[in-house]
Amino acid sequence: MLDGWELADGWAFAIDDPEYGLTSAAPTTTDLVRGYGGGHIEWPEDPTHHLQEGEHA
């Protein structure tokens, strides 16, 4: 599993080696995933997903 992010303009980044700061980037998330054979994206859950009725984020 790699950490990463996507910018508003669509560029996607993945941190390949946090110790050395190695990062991969591509113009789109689809292009980035294509570079990791069999890779897929898991977006973090909405933080309000686990709230009980009446609670606020």
pLDDT (tens digit, 9 = 90+) per residue, 5-29?
A: 889 999 999 888 889 989 999 999 8
| Residue 34 confidence (pLDDT) above 80 | yes
Q: To which residue do tokens 């993945």 refer? A: 14
Cβ distance 35 to 25 under 8 Å? no
Q: How confident is the model at residue 54 (pLDDT cuts 50, 70, 90)?
A: low
Contacts by residues 12-19 (CB-CB < 8 Å, ≥ 24 positions apart): none
Run of H or E including 13: strand 12-17
**Residue 3: its pLDDT value, please?**
84
